[in-house]
Chain A
């Protein structure tokens, strides 16, 4: 198996998109998923509890210094950036907002490239700004796999569209097809 981790960025329209994606991911899905969903600074761990209830994977808010494990989804906590260290542990920071966002998708993706090089899959779904586009460019440059939700059918197209302005993504797909692709390449 070539790929060792998936980084996933989503913003406006995210809850619906994530629901479709995670209900279609196989119970046996192995590699870790690190997720940034833009959210309000005061949000609690609702998203983690919700996603845990609709799929068989372990879903949790990321803790600092936590070792990344298989079959687990890590969600960036509200008001913290999530980063990956070279030893595959997680870091949280309260650094400046990036693209008006904390957590920022670019911050996660760029650190993930440092840690995983070409063994990384980057995914951008629905969203209203351009956070994540730079990170996807780095993933592509490092030889990782880049996937975006088809902007034509995304609830808010700006975020996946912003990726296409920087790179030609390897796959432009509907949500169900993204799940299918992930199921097939990460067994």
Chain B
């Protein structure tokens, strides 16, 4: 049960993290942050969030591990296969009209969905003229994404997703298996640039034809959602495409009138001006 005091302690902890390290979790949805902090409190045997704040301020290593706990999101290759199907049928024809294609994948976590995009682009004959900028707040997950190494045990599930997503080849074309892991093919990696970017505090990252940011906004409160959607609007070219997660919408935001639905059900939007 959360008491008033405990909530105050959490507010102080998040403020301390921001003041000391610049990571801003003050506008994240509370319930999820609280759950993650509670797990950390239990696993680190600390008596309170005030004690955690002290440790955060004086032990960088502890902060680093807490940051990972607060920011890691789990994903999978071709998560929501129908989304990738819609990209192929409705968005690829738009992308084909550009000589060079810049894609910004914001909040890419460990990279599964970025490689999915690279595979899709290759099958549509677009990878050679594309560049994908994949960013995340967390440098540790970015390092993992860059390696492109995934557990072999996941491949069965990913292969099913790939096929449901309209994949035209054998999924095994895209990785090399060794022991209990697979490594993604170099020709995919060559088209991805991984960089650290914090949506809560950093500005425009690039001028993109397509921005993909899926299941990141659900972690933010309304205010931060609006700020980030504004950032996306400013980072897109005219008529650029914005793809959100299947439970995210632009409808109730400050920017509802700046976009039209391209594929409503899959939350794919087009910027109109």
Contacts and interface: CB of A to CB of B under 8 A. Distances in A.
Contact of A93 (B75, B79, B81, B218): B218
Interface of B: 1-2, 7, 29-32, 34-36, 73-75, 79-81, 164, 215, 218-219, 222, 247-249, 252
B30 A141 contact: no
B1 A111 contact: no
A42 B165 CA distance: 12
A91 B31 contact: yes
A80 interface: yes
A136 interface: no
B247 A92 contact: yes
A86 interface: yes
Given A77-B247, A94-B215, A138-B1, A86 B30 contact: yes
A111 B31 contact: yes
Contacts of B36: 95
Given A63-B247, A97-B74, 15 more contacts: A64-B218, A65-B252, A80-B218, A83-B31, A83-B35, A91-B32, A91-B218, A92-B218, A94-B75, A94-B218, A95-B36, A95-B73, A111-B34, A114-B34, A142-B1
Contacts of B75: 94
B247 A64 contact: yes
17 contacts: A64-B218, A64-B248, A77-B247, A80-B247, A83-B29, A83-B31, A83-B32, A85-B31, A92-B247, A94-B75, A94-B218, A97-B74, A107-B35, A111-B34, A111-B35, A114-B2, A142-B1
Interface of A: 42, 63-65, 77, 79-80, 83-86, 91-97, 107, 110-111, 113-115, 117, 138, 141-142
A84 B218 contact: no
Closest 5 pairs (CB-CB, A-B): A83-B31, A114-B2, A111-B31, A91-B29, A94-B215
B222 to A, nearest CB: 6
A110 B31 CA distance: 10
A84 B79 CA distance: 24
Contact of A117 (B1, B7, B30): B1
Contacts of B7: 86
